[in-house]
Amino acid sequence: MRYLPHTREDIESMLKVSGLSSLDDLFNCIPDDLKTKQKMDIPQALSEWELDTHMEELASLNAANKNCKYFIGAGSYDHYIPAIIPYLISRSEFMTAYTPYQPEVSQGTLQGIYEFQTMVTQLLGMDVATASHYDCGTALAEACLIALRKHRTSNKIAVSSLIHPHHRQIMQTYLGPAGYEIVEIPYTDKGVTDIKALEKMDDIAGIAVQSPNFFGNVEDLASFKTVAADKKILFITSFTEALAYGLLKNPGSFGADLVAGEGQSLGIAKSFGGPGLGLLAGSKKQMRNLPGRFVGKTLDSNSDKGYVLTLATREQHIRREKASSNICSNNGLNAMTAAIYLATTGKIGIREIAQQNHDKAFYLKTGLEKAGFKPAFNSPFFNEFVVKVPDSFKAKKESLINDKNIFAGIDLESFYPELKNHYLFCATETISKLDIDQLVKEVQ
């Protein structure tokens, strides 16, 4: 096996040093009755050639193996990934390093993550950002835990029903066993969170609202902040489409205390939903309540600048059962990917790409309406929106995938049973005018 360097002579001489005569003797300290008598039923080792063939066969069973057009998002977006991103991120010094616990030989990861934290604070208008989390759903659950732990009396958190349904499920998984309760805030016929319903809610420890929300609509974050301030509780916002903040006013400008988001749009492949990138940012006041890693700037013994992991006392390896979270790893390489992406687009590029996302989505919506689909909600949106389709669309949608490699819309009924025949559409910069015209023609 090419990964195992030992020759027979190596093994013999190394065993001799340990005073053993066979490799099996190495396991003498394990009682015989604990050793397995069963073989591992795993296919015979494949050569690299055979592996290539096998994996290509598997990959080709996915529709994505063809050149597809994605008119779907809902937490995973098809964006262009510039060639320099996979090229740079594949540098093995980044890829094959461990967590930067030895800062003298980890300055690359550390400065890169420090820059990532900085760019995330710029994007979101927040004071501090962590070195990243698993995904938006888990970051949001952690944010809710902060609000709940800080509140002395309430064990309930108000959560918009237009937060990604899967994120709400994760919150339930995380919060339920600890004895916390989630109260859902309904949505209005405009497809936004019902602030009036929220105002009536008493005894809550925090408010969580996603914007753009699951329907793609932009929420009135300023009003939610007012309610949170009145109730003296933490205001948490989330998002699944990071590029929205290339165009929209950022959550920090509305006074968000905590922001959880998904960074997959920032140069990371969809990869069937993971690994993505959990973003978590906060106001200065929340800095020490945030879970996960931080990189900070300092000086070395020669007074040269350098970077280290810092504020580690919040973390599990020091605080153990009293830690703010059990999180240990971050999605470091994907954070670095996002940093490279943000440096590549820069201030000019991110605005232009974000604007084009909105332009294309607007053009798509107009086209679909012309084709006879009905707009579901009349609210401003970024690159996703909901339309009501005729009964015949379900069959059409199948044939579009099978015949044209077009993924057109996500059926919302399984998430919101009241929304029969409602579909969530998305258009990004990878979709051309021609693609949209073709889709509109197909569904007419």
Partner 1 sequence: MKEINDLNLPEDLKYTKDHEWAKNSDGVITIGINDYAQDQLGEIVFVELPEVGDTFEKGDEFGSVESVKAVSEIYMPVAGEIVEINEALEDAPELVNESCYDNGWLIKVKIDDTSEFEALLDKGAYLDMLKG
Partner 2 sequence: MENQPGTKGLVFNEPEIWDKSCNGRCAMSLPKADVKRAQLDKTLVGDAPELPQLSELDVVRHYTRLSQWNFGVDSGMYPLGSCTMKYNPKTNEVQASRKGFASAHPFTENSYSQGSLKLMYDLEQYLKEITGFHAVTLQPAAGAHGELAGMLMIHKYHAKNGRQRSKIIIPDTAHGTNPASASLCGYESVNIKSGKNGILEPEDVKAVMDEDTAGIMVTNPNTLGLFESNIKKIADIVHAKGGLVYGDGANMNAIMGIVKPGEIGIDVLHLNLHKTFSTPHGGGGPGSGPVAVVKKLEPFLPVPRVIKNKDSYEFLTDCPDTIGRLHTFYGHFGVLIKAFSYILSMGAKGLTNASKLAVLNANYIKESLKETLNLPYDLPCMHECVFNDAIQKEHHITTMDMAKRLLDYGFHPPTVYFPLVVEGAFMVEPTETESKEDIDQFIDAVKAIAKEARTDPETLRRAPFLTKVTRLDEVAAARKPCLCG
Determine the longest span between alpha carbons in the chain, in angstroms.
82
183 binds, among partner 1, partner 2, none (CB under 5 to 8 A by kind): none
Sequence-separated (6 or more) residues with CB below 8 Å from residue 187: 160, 161, 162, 193, 194, 213, 215
- 3 state SS of 275: coil
Does residue 167 bind partner 2 (CB under 8 A)? Answer: yes
Dihedral over Cα of 415, 264, 277, 240: its sign: negative
21 vs 310, beta carbon nearer partner 1: 310
φ, ψ at 33 (rounded to 5°):
-70, -10
Does residue 315 bind partner 2 (CB under 8 A)? Answer: yes
Q: Which of residues 158-217 bind partner 1 (CB under 8 A)?
A: none
Phi-psi region of 124 (alpha: psi -120 to 50; beta: other; left: phi over 0): alpha
Contact 386, 422 (CB under 8 A): yes
Q: Which of residues 311-370 bind partner 1 (CB under 8 A)?
A: 312-313, 318-319, 322
- 3 state SS of 182: strand
75 vs 191, beta carbon nearer partner 2: 75
Q: How far is the CB of 232 from partner 2 (least distance, A)?
A: 26
Contact 34, 372 (CB under 8 A): no
Q: Which of residues 8-67 bind partner 2 (CB under 8 A)?
A: 10-11, 13-15, 17-20, 23-24, 26-31, 33-36, 38-46, 48, 51-52, 54-56, 58-65
Q: How far is the CB of 91 from partner 1 (least distance, A)?
A: 30
Residues, the chain = 444
What residue type is assigned to position 28 of the chain?
N
CA distance readout (Å), 21 to 10, 24, 25, 28, 146 = 13, 8, 7, 12, 56
φ, ψ at 71 (rounded to 5°):
-100, 35
Q: How far is the CB of 321 from partner 1 (least distance, A)?
A: 12
Q: Which of residues 80-139 bind partner 2 (CB under 8 A)?
A: 80, 82, 84, 86-88, 90-100, 102-109, 111-115, 117-119, 121-123, 125, 128-129, 131-132, 134-138
Cα(335)–Cα(135) distance, rounded to whole angstroms? 11
251 vs 282, beta carbon nearer partner 1: 282
Sequence-separated (6 or more) residues with CB below 8 Å from residue 40: none
Does residue 417 bind partner 2 (CB under 8 A)? Answer: no
Q: Which of residues 183-212 bind partner 2 (CB under 8 A)?
A: none
- In the block, residue with structure tokens 């995330």: 120
350 binds, among partner 1, partner 2, none (CB under 5 to 8 A by kind): partner 2
Q: Which of residues 264-303 bind partner 1 (CB under 8 A)?
A: 288
3 binds, among partner 1, partner 2, none (CB under 5 to 8 A by kind): partner 2
128 vs 205, beta carbon nearer partner 2: 128
Contact 85, 344 (CB under 8 A): yes
Dihedral (C-alpha) 394, 397, 401, 405: value to the nearest 10 degrees? Answer: -170
Does residue 149 bind partner 1 (CB under 8 A)? Answer: no
Q: Which of 190, 213, 214, 253 binds partner 2 (CB under 8 A)?
A: 253
Q: Which of residues 318-357 bind partner 2 (CB under 8 A)?
A: 318-323, 325-334, 336, 340, 342-353, 355-356
Does residue 239 bind partner 2 (CB under 8 A)? Answer: no
Residues that bind partner 1 (CB under 8 A): 288, 312-313, 318-319, 322
